[in-house]
Amino acid sequence: MLDEGQLLSHRTGQIDASGIRRAFQLGAQLENPINLSIGQPHFPVPDPLKTAAIEAIQSDSNGYTLTGGHPPLRSSIESMLQEDIGWDFTSDDVDFMVTSGTSGALVLAAWAMLDPGDEFIIPDPFFVIYPALGPMTGATPVYCDLYPDFRMTADRVEPLLTPKTKIVMVNSPANPTGIVLTDEEMRDLAELCRSRGVLLLSDEIYDLFTYSAARDARDRAPSPALHGQDMLIVRGFGKNYGCTGWRLGFAAGPTWLIQQMIKFQQYSFVCAPSMAQHAVMAAHQVDMSPWVEAYEHKRDLVLKHLAPVTNVAAPEGAFYAFPEVPASLGMTGTQFTESLLDHNVIAIPGGVFSNRDSHMRISYATEDEALEAGLKAIAQAMKG
């Protein structure tokens, strides 16, 4: 008999994945739920991408690719990045790589940079993988408390920097709050990290889904990449094009770091899925703006229903809102989301994404009709 207590690593005990699993298990008991818990777009993958994936498989492009990415996809990412953030990848200073999802890039960066005893600063509330990079590497996540407006400003980060800090992680548009930092806020973070010799890691997976008022002078998501190159920019295809299961992202940053991440990819993921790499080569030519506009409208619906009954920081991108459970109810986020199951609505308690359990995450990536029905039920429940 194998003794799991003796065989499993200590780090397994330091990662708690129970929150989201519990939300899914509870939801699975409902017949026809209004599901506002899903962290992916509800639209289908654009046809040109589907066709390209099928063609890649049928033309036998199913083998390993180069570790850093299939060269034609690399060319497409290179020109897109050059046009977007102006980085010149013909220089020796910066490089990029294709990764197995954005998560793949985050894990590779953590492996390449973090030792036991190191610290890395993450937002609170956070995307669930961020704190887990601690147990995976032995480093300590340091939480930057962003309540109540959820803006990760340099002023909030600065007091948390210590000689042990190696990375500051910023996520904009943010999961679970939808907050988008301004160009100025990004510049200040970039300058702070540079002046303290710390790597700024910018997770920009939702970049395309940045709503009109939050877009910068380029009409795009503000990025620290416009204020230097001594940082790691992580982006993905999954959320922007509805292909989360294809596991495709990329990371751009200092060559010394990308080279080490490629080494770890070689001995772990090996390469990103080959047919997906073929499929997304033309992604940047696909016009997603109708979906971005549709989601901006859904964001407006969320505010219309919830702003009158609770505190909710207006989301500026992604497809999430993070309203507070009104204090007058005397309920935690977990208690409130469990009570919503009686109204056939699934949402995720804020405690899954935070050291506090005072809020809840709503994903509005769903049909308007279901969304409005869900929002009405939540607003009713919030009124008590």
- Whole-angstrom Cα distance, residue 156 to residue 141? 15
Between 94 and 106, CB nearer to ligand PMP: 106
- Does 241 bind ligand PMP (CB under 6 A)? Our answer is no
Q: Which of residues 254-283 bind ligand PMP (CB under 6 A)?
A: none
- The window from 55-63, 98-106, 142-150, 252-260 that contacts ligand PMP (CB under 6 A) reads 98-106
Please count the residues of the chain.
384
Q: Which two tokens stand for residue 96?
A: 């990029």
The reply to whether 205 sits near ligand PMP by the rule CB under 6 A is yes
Q: Which of 19, 27, 33, 39 binds ligand PMP (CB under 6 A)?
A: 39
Q: How far is the CB of 103 from ligand PMP (least distance, A)?
A: 3
Query: Which residue, 127 or 291, is less far from ligand PMP as judged by CB?
Result: 127
* Contact predicate 218/183, CB 8 Å: no
Closest to 382 measured CA to CA, from 346, 351, 336: 336
Stretch touching ligand PMP by CB under 6 A, among 101-109, 159-167, 217-225, 250-258: 101-109
Q: Which is nearer to ligand PMP, 132 or 331 (CB)?
A: 132
**Does 242 participate in binding ligand PMP (rule CB under 6 A)?**
no
Q: Is 354 in the site for ligand PMP (CB under 6 A)?
A: no
Pick from 380, 379, 365: which is nearest to 35 by CA? Answer: 365
Q: Choose the binding region for ligand PMP from 74-82, 100-108, 257-265, 297-305 (rule: CB under 6 A).
A: 100-108
Q: Does 363 bind ligand PMP (CB under 6 A)?
A: no
From 68, 135, 249, 349, residue interacting with ligand PMP (rule: CB under 6 A) = 249
Least Cα distance to 193 among 259, 251, 144, 140 occurs for 144
Q: Does 203 bind ligand PMP (CB under 6 A)?
A: yes
102 binds ligand PMP (CB under 6 A): yes
Q: Does 238 bind ligand PMP (CB under 6 A)?
A: yes
Q: How far are the Cα atoms of 17, 35, 305 from residue 376, in angstroms, in the given order?
A: 30, 14, 7
CB atoms within 10 A of CB 48: 15
Kindly state whether residue 175 participates in binding ligand PMP, applying the rule CB under 6 A: yes
Per-residue DSSP letter, 80: H
Of 257, 98, 252, 93, nearest in space to 166 by CA: 257
Report yes or no: 333 and 362 within 8 Å, Cβ to Cβ.
no
CA-wise closest residue to 151 among 190, 187, 181? 181
Number of residues that bind ligand PMP (CB under 6 A): 13
Beta-bridged to residue 171, according to DSSP, are 203
Position with the least CB separation from ligand PMP:
101
Q: Taking the CB of residue 293, how many other CB atoms lie within 10 A of it?
A: 12
CB 233 within 8 A of CB 202: yes
Q: Say whether residue 171 binds ligand PMP (CB under 6 A).
A: yes
Least separation in angstroms between CB 10 and ligand PMP: 25
End-to-end CA distance of the chain: 52
What is the chain's percent helix, strand, coil content, to nearest 5? 45, 15, 40
Strand residue runs (E) in 17-137: 34-35, 94-99, 119-124
Q: Is 324 in the site for ligand PMP (CB under 6 A)?
A: no
- Which residue among 244, 334, 337, 366 contacts ligand PMP (CB under 6 A)? 244
Instruction: Identify which range of 42-50, 96-104, 152-160, 336-344 contacts ligand PMP by CB under 6 A.
Output: 96-104
Is 362 a binder of ligand PMP (CB under 6 A)?
Answer: no
Closer Cβ to ligand PMP, 37 or 175, answer by number: 175
Q: Which spans of this chain sit near ligand PMP (rule: CB under 6 A)?
A: 39, 101-103, 127, 171, 175, 203, 205, 236, 238, 244, 249
